Amino acid sequence: MSSNEAAVFQYEGSELDLFRKAENWKKYWSGIVVPYLSGDVLEVGAGSGSNTTFFEKAKVRSWTALEPDEMLARRIQFPTALNGRSLVGTIATLPSDSMFDSIVYIDVLEHIEDDAAELQRALARLRVGGVLVVLSPAHPFLFTPFDSSIGHYRRYTRTTLQQAAPLGMSTEKLVYLDSVGMAASLANRLVLNQSMPTEGQILVWDRLMVPISRITDRITFGAMGKTVLGIWRKGNS
């Protein structure tokens, strides 16, 4: 994608504002991710910033929110502590000297056809010792019309997400999250087969299921869930 193409890109999904209401869920996964972040952070595919605000407790030097949809990028608001800026484009359109200590993909990698090549580009932007974070929907058998409607190419298992990660990076964490929500997703896959959840469904999941998942995920040691989280660190080689 050229810089001109990036500037006119428009995201076709309509779920961003709907899932903005899932505050318990965002607090849950961000609480796991934040301790791994440091220095200069790049958030790839930041959308309208609905996830960015949940990183306010990260002890970082700067935060760059990268988003190819200019209209979405304009909506991003940063907590003061993040020292944030937004850029329109993709990781391929960044200036050649742009380097970061942490790079995060929150519900983004599944939208990219060549995921392995994308993460290889991310590796080239990471300083030695830096971390790469990916949060994505899990399990191909949970793929529904909703996934198709918002441009997902795939859902991951821990194995396939690990395979997409660049070679030579050490794995810090690779777990499933939201074990209770997985049951709800399976019901949607087998019974409802919806192309878009309702606001009521989002609120029931977020307010009732996510708090239980925070407990059951610890009991199961991250062995099951509808989302997969991978965190890797770049070595010297």
Does the pLDDT value for residue 5 go beyond 50? no
Q: Which residue has the higher pLDDT, 98 or 194?
A: 98
Task: Give the pLDDT band of residue 225 (cuts 50, 70, 90).
Answer: very high
Q: Domain ranges in the chain?
A: 3-233
**pLDDT tens digit string along 128-174?**
999 999 999 999 999 988 888 889 999 999 999 999 999 989 999 99
Question: From CA 194, how far away is CA 43, in angstroms rounded?
Answer: 29
Q: What is the CATH number of domain 3-233?
A: 3.40.50.150
205-229 average pLDDT score: 96
The reported pLDDT for the residue numbered 68 is: 95
The reported pLDDT for the residue numbered 146 is: 84
Does the pLDDT value for residue 56 go beyond 50? yes
- Burial class of residue 202, CB neighbours in 10 A (0-12, 13-18, 19+): middle
Q: Which residue has the higher pLDDT, 80 or 146?
A: 80
The reported pLDDT for the residue numbered 13 is: 52
170-177 vs 227-233, strand pairing mode? antiparallel
168-189 average pLDDT score: 90
Question: From CA 145, how far away is CA 143, in angstroms rounded?
Answer: 7
3-state secondary structure of 182: helix
Nearest to 72 by CA among 149, 1, 11: 11
The reported pLDDT for the residue numbered 8 is: 56
Q: What angle do CA 43, 48, 50 make, to 5 degrees?
A: 75
With 0.75 as the threshold, say if the pTM is over it: yes
